[in-house]
Amino acid sequence: MNLIGEHTDYNDGFVLPSAIGFYAHVAIAPRSDDKILLKSTAYDGQFEFHAAGLPEQKQDVWADYVLGVAHQLKRAGIPLTGANLLLHSEVPVGSGLSSSAALEVASALALQSLSGKTLPLQQIAKLCQSAENEFVGAHVGIMDQFVSCFGKEGHAVLIDCRSLDFELVPIPSNADFVICNTMVKHELSGGEYNQRRAQCEEGVLILSKFYPGIKALRDVSVEQLIGHESDLPAIVYRRCLHVVLENARTLDAVKCFASDDLATVGQLMRASHESLRDLYEVSCAELDTMVESAQGLPGFIGGRMTGGGFGGCTINLVERANSQEFAKEVAARYKARIGISPDVFVCSAANGAGVEADHAAV
Ligand code: ADP
Ligand code: MG
């Protein structure tokens, strides 16, 4: 779940996600043959593959996420052997909470655990992202896999998407995250996501003529951008302004968390939403309604859309004493205004992936 820093990742910028306490568990046991058997408690049936001859193409089934990870592990020098894998995930599917990243990271750690070798966790995050990019064919950034790996209880994770350096940022213990799913996902024609990326690249190209060191919007200061407004097409300027200001807001939010200034974090989240709505133009009526529905409720600190946009979830920072009541109220308001009952999750920053105890076969 990303607190702030939206559409900054592919601009080499900063994001501030947290892992939340929904876990995907993968139990694994070695087999004496070379079969890899996959089962999930969420789906009937099972999948059977051979460790030595995994399918090279996706099968359009959930097992693709595990197959993609298995290919990547092999490529990284982790030998695969026969095994039974059972997945049980608490992460709701397709709710914007990245059940896919949880599945990938859990599978990677499980498969690795039988090999006797250990890759650095950062490499696990990267290879899970590659699995989703290359095998499943979903063009996701590194954030979800990274925070699945490095999340820490009571902390958000400031990630520098250029260097992949990260910093743990304590979240005051009197605040909860309330995630509200609008239950809509507008499929827009024309590849809005690719368009935004192209507009950012166009901005970089133009600005780099004035400032040769600029490789990505991450390198552009607010002053540099404002000074060259007239050199950029208006729409490109607005897109760039969002990214440059959003990077600054993300770093500001880290400082505010450090000084326990939650009120300002709330204002930064609000500003982020308005910027995504008005400058980057990736919000939608349902997201705006969900954000508005939170205003004025007791304990509400701040909220905004989270994720790529055009539907999906909002994230709200709410005082813990009020978070359960807030969840009920915001859901009722949204239902009254849009006519859809939203899924609402109250959660807090939790630990990322790890290997649980070894259990002897029974
Ligand atoms: P999300 O936003 O939840 O990551 P995705 O479409 O990226 O949505 O990933 C959801 C997919 O991940 C599911 O369609 C399924 O293929 C796989 N998946 C998630 N959770 C499970 C599970 N418990 N068992 C099997 N597959 C799962
Ligand atoms: Mg996903």
Averaged pLDDT for residues 307-324: 96
- pLDDT given at position 190: 57
Cβ-Cβ contacts under 8 Å for 119 (sequence gap 6 or more) = 73, 76, 78, 112, 127
Q: How far is Cα 164 from Cα 26, in angstroms, rounded to an integer?
A: 26
pLDDT tier at 109, thresholds 50, 70, 90: very high
Comparing CA positions, the residue from 18, 3, 306, 294 lying closest to residue 150 is 18
Instruction: State the distance from the centre of ligand 2 to the C-alpha of 139, rounded, in angstroms.
Output: 10
Per-residue pLDDT reduced to its tens digit, 230-243: 999 999 999 999 99
Q: Give the pLDDT confidence of 26-50 residue by residue, as tens digits.
A: 999 999 999 999 999 999 999 999 9
Q: Please give the distance, rounded to the nearest whole angstrom, from the Cα atom of residue 95 to the centre of ligand 2.
A: 9
pLDDT attached to residue 362: 47
Q: Which ligand is nearest to the CA of 96?
A: 1
**Site residues for ligand 1, CB cut-off 6 Å:** 40, 42-43, 62, 65, 87, 89, 93-100, 103
* 343 is known as an active-site residue: no
The dihedrals phi and psi of 235, each to the nearest 5 degrees, come to -70, -35
Residue among 43, 62, 95 to mutate when testing ligand 1 (max atoms within 8 A of CB): 62
Query: How is residue 296 written in tokens?
Result: 């004025």
Evaluate whether 269 touches 304 at the Cβ level (below 8 Å). Answer: yes
The DSSP string of 30-83 is E-SSSEEEEEETTSSS-EEEEGGG--SS--SSTHHHHHHHHHHHHHTT-----E
> Within a 10 A sphere around the Cβ of 217, how many other Cβ atoms?
26
pLDDT bracket for residue 276 (50, 70, 90): very high
CA–CA distance from 299 to each of 203, 259, 318, 323, 327 (Å)? 40, 19, 5, 7, 11
Residue 96 and residue 144: Cα distance in Å, rounded? Answer: 10
For ligand 1, the distance from its centroid to the CA atom of residue 91, given in whole angstroms, is 8
Residue 299 is given by DSSP the state T
Atom of ligand 1 nearest to the CA of 140: 7
* Candidates 9, 12, 144, 219; catalytic one: 144
CA 147 – CA 17 distance, rounded (Å):
7
Could you give the maximum distance between any two Cα atoms of the chain, in Å? Answer: 71
Tokens of 253: 């939010």
140 CA to centre of ligand 2 in angstroms: 8
